[in-house]
């Protein structure tokens, strides 16, 4: 009785890598659309092919089943809403179709395992050829189901690639603007250090440490940066809300795909810009604080 759960656990571990491959293949398509995952999605499956062709077939079948069930789920809606089939029947047919398509990945795993057992060196070259060959067989010779959903982002990939690049450039420009603005903090703190040299000297003569003096000016500059960031964040959020609900910036529809400037507020971008602004503001306090900390009390009080 104790050995049975251990055997099941060992069997599950053997199929864990194929399941990971199925998930990686799935996320490389919409909805997740993490395309880079396709470059290494089959690596876990190939690493698990240490047994014979029969066992490897089942591993490939499981990987395919995870992939296809999570990527052609929309077939259920098509059969239910447009085909008039019962929802249970639609699900069963979708699973059956996924199982049929998974056979090809199972065959790929079995053939790859056979080649790997015979010649590991040839396996590296043969595996891609086996995959492409089975894809051709599935798509052109024995029909198959070579369809996947494409969203409007994929259909207009060039446009959204350009927008993504523009967003990156705008973030860099914004960081540069904040960097230039941070010099105002530097100059302000340096002027405070010069004006308050007598007070700093008195504090140091009374026992204030360099670290304590540095903390005073670092907190001063950081507070300036945090307050400025908060004001900018609130202003930016307000302008974005205004754009979102009024659409007062119009675009020529014959040039662009849209007739107004759309707004999408991403909390991650708000946090990233705010964090960058506060970090730059804090960095701007280091030099003036260090200058204040190293001030010699004797020199500062000599002519007082």
Return the pLDDT at 159.
75
Give exposure, 39-58, as e/b (b: 16+ Cβ within 10 Å): eebbebbbebbeeebebbbb
Same domain, yes or no, for 184 and 284?
yes
Same domain, yes or no, for 168 and 277?
yes
Closest to 57 (Cα-Cα) out of 22, 18, 94, 96: 18
Q: At how many degrees (to 10) do helices 267-284 and 286-293 cross? A: 30
Residue 250, SS3? strand
Return the pLDDT at 66.
92
Domain boundary among 151, 172, 187: 151
In terms of average pLDDT, the best of 32-46, 133-147, 153-167 is 32-46
Same domain, yes or no, for 186 and 147?
no
Distance, in Å, from the CA atom of 182 to the CA atom of 187, rounded to the nearest integer, reads 9
Return the pLDDT at 124.
84
Domain boundary among 151, 172, 191: 151
- Own/partner pairs, 169-172, CB within 8 angstroms, 24+ separation: 171/269, 171/272, 171/273
Same domain, yes or no, for 65 and 190?
no
Return the pLDDT at 59.
92
Same domain, yes or no, for 92 and 167?
no
Same domain, yes or no, for 160 and 145?
no
Domain count, the chain: 2
Same domain, yes or no, for 176 and 257?
yes
Distance, in Å, from the CA atom of 22 to the CA atom of 138, rounded to the nearest integer, reads 18
Residue 290 DSSP code: H
Residue owning tokens 């104790």: 2
Residues in the chain: 304
Side-chain half-sphere exposure of 88, counting CA atoms within 13 A: 0
Question: What would the pLDDT profile of 83-95 be if each residue is shown by its tens digit?
Answer: 888 889 999 998 9
Residue 83 DSSP code: S
Distance, in Å, from the CA atom of 41 to the CA atom of 18, rounded to the nearest integer, reads 10
Return the pLDDT at 4.
54
Q: Is the pLDDT of residue 231 over 90?
A: yes
Q: Which domain holds residue 190?
A: 156-301
Lowest mean pLDDT among 35-49, 197-211, 242-256: 242-256
Which residues, 6+ apart, have CB-to-CB distance to 192 below 8 Å? 217, 220, 288
Averaged pLDDT, 121-150: 76
Domain boundary among 151, 182, 208: 151
> Any alpha helices (H) in the chain, and if so which ranges?
3-27, 43-47, 53-71, 74-77, 87-118, 120-136, 152-155, 157-195, 197-205, 210-246, 267-284, 286-293, 297-301
Residue 260, SS3? strand
Same domain, yes or no, for 96 and 63?
yes
- Contact status, residue 107 vs residue 57, Cβ threshold 8 Å: yes
Question: What would the pLDDT profile of 98-122 be if each residue is shown by its tens digit?
Answer: 898 899 999 999 999 999 888 888 8
- Return the number of other C-beta atoms located less than 10 Å from residue 156's C-beta: 13
Distance, in Å, from the CA atom of 140 to the CA atom of 83, rounded to the nearest integer, reads 25
Gyration radius of the chain's alpha carbons: 32
Same domain, yes or no, for 170 and 66?
no
Same domain, yes or no, for 77 and 214?
no
Distance of CA 189 to the CA centre of its chain: 38
Same domain, yes or no, for 233 and 112?
no
Residue 277 corresponds to which tokens in the numbers above?
Answer: 């602004």
Q: Is the pLDDT of residue 22 over 70?
A: yes
Q: Is the pLDDT of residue 9 over 60?
A: no
Same domain, yes or no, for 12 and 137?
yes
Which residues, 6+ apart, have CB-to-CB distance to 78 below 8 Å? none
Return the pLDDT at 252.
78
Q: Is the pLDDT of residue 2 over 50?
A: no
């Amino acid at each position: 009785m104790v050995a049975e759960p251990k055997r099941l656990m060992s069997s599950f571990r053997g199929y864990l890598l194929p399941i990971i491959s199925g998930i990686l293949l799935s996320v490389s398509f919409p909805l997740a659309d993490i395309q880079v995952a396709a470059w290494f999605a089959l690596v876990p499956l190939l690493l698990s092919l240490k047994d014979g062709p029969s066992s490897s077939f089942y591993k490939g079948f499981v990987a395919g089943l995870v992939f296809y069930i999570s990527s052609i789920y929309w077939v259920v809606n098509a059969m239910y809403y447009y085909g008039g089939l019962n929802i249970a029947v639609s699900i069963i047919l979708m699973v059956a179709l996924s199982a049929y398509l998974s056979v090809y990945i199972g065959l790929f795993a079995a053939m790859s395992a056979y080649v790997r057992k015979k010649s590991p060196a040839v396996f590296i070259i043969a595996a891609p050829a086996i995959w492409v060959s089975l894809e051709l067989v599935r798509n052109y010779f024995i029909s198959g189901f070579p369809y996947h959903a494409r969203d409007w982002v994929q259909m207009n990939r060039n446009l959204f690639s350009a927008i993504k690049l523009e967003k990156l450039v705008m973030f860099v420009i914004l960081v540069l603007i904040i960097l230039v603005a941070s010099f105002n903090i530097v100059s302000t703190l340096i002027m405070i250090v010069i004006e308050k040299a007598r007070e700093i000297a008195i504090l140091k003569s009374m026992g204030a440490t360099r670290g304590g003096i540095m903390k005073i000016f670092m907190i001063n500059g950081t507070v300036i940066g945090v307050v400025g960031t908060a004001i900018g964040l609130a202003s930016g959020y307000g302008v974005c809300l205004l754009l979102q609900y009024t659409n007062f910036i119009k675009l020529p529809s014959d040039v662009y795909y849209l007739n107004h400037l759309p707004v999408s507020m991403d909390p991650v971008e708000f946090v990233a810009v705010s964090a960058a602004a506060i970090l730059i503001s804090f960095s701007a306090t280091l030099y003036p604080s260090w200058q204040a900390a190293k001030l010699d009390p004797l020199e500062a009080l000599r002519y007082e």
